[in-house]
Amino acid sequence: MSVTQEVVRADNPLDLSLSEAELERHREHIIEFIEARVDAAGVDRVVMGLSGGIDSTLTSHLVVEAVGAENVHALVMPSEVNRDENMGDAERVASELLDVEYDVVAINPIVDAFLEAYPDAADDQLATGNLRVRVRAVLNYLVANHEDALVVGTGNRSEAAVGYFTKYGDGAVDCHPIANLYKGQVRQLAKHVGVPADLAEKTASAEMWVGQTDAGELGMDYPTLDSVLALHVDGPLSASATVDHVGVDPSVVEKVRTLHEASAHKRAAPPGPDPLY
């Protein structure tokens, strides 16, 4: 039975909590997935970016379990909009918690070079924010190509469903190990595998520009988003039934549905015409 089916049939339809046994099954399943992807690629090493956020922190813990700390190369890639606290947490994860090889690569000079080449975009907050994310993707693949390694991403189910990621940026990876987990479940599994509570519960922010938070940009918190996705987008309930179950304004459910539909292109390969022959 899927998580969504369990949620819809439970006494509390908003409860996306996983039991300890379920969390352990998810841990084992994800580790097996990482091992399979590494084997299929014919490599031994993994490259991934660390942001200090919970998604990359959990993913890095699971990657180390799957391939060993000696086979992981982490990149911490600060820009002028990243808070020192988050970059410090990223280094803490790499050095203190996991003891993996890591490099700190400041991306400001690279971003500035792009904006000097095309200054018309310099005042465009969204375009510049996406540029920062895409620069990190290029660096991940530069290192991975050099070391014959697999690039591991950190996208979760909630953010993928509404397109809350940069196309060809943090979405440009070889695999997303935690893609089957809603954001709340990411936090649960993080605690289960031993991530300290201060990291597991920290406020989520993509930090594409100063002061950005996920909740502020999405217009709702993650528990609300997770519930609407599980019940309506991924689940069988109608929009009106979801409104009743979650206890939100109909516009919230409509917004999640619209975000999901409008971001379908991000979850698919670039389209091309069908062959004529």
pLDDT band at residue 1, thresholds of 50, 70 and 90?
Answer: very low
Residue with tokens 């490599």, as numbered in its chain: 43
Cα angle: 4, vertex 213, 121; to 5 degrees: 115
- Kindly report which listed range (63-72, 163-172, 210-219) carries the lowest average pLDDT score: 210-219
- pLDDT of 90 higher than 60: yes
CA-atom Rg of the chain in angstroms: 19
Residue with tokens 């890591």, as numbered in its chain: 102
- pLDDT of 52 higher than 50: yes
Closest CA to 135 of 78, 206, 58: 78
Mean pLDDT for the chain overall? 91
Q: What percent of the chain has pLDDT over 70?
A: 94
- pLDDT of 263 higher than 90: yes
Instruction: Write the DSSP symbol of residue 193.
Output: T
Average pLDDT over every residue of 186-195: 96
- pLDDT at position 63: 98
Domain coordinates in residue numbering, the chain: 3-212
- pLDDT of 8 higher than 70: no
- pLDDT of 202 higher than 90: no
* Second-level CATH architecture of 3-212: 3-Layer(aba) Sandwich (3.40)
Using an 8 Å Cβ cutoff, are 245 and 251 in contact? no
Instruction: Write the DSSP symbol of residue 176.
Output: -
Alpha-carbon distance of 50 to 47, in angstroms, equals: 10
Alpha-carbon distance of 132 to 112, in angstroms, equals: 10
Alpha-carbon distance of 210 to 95, in angstroms, equals: 26
- pLDDT of 41 higher than 50: yes
> pTM score, two decimals?
0.91
Average pLDDT over every residue of 263-275: 91
CB atoms inside a 10 Å sphere around CB 136: 23
Average pLDDT over every residue of 85-112: 95
Average pLDDT over every residue of 218-239: 94
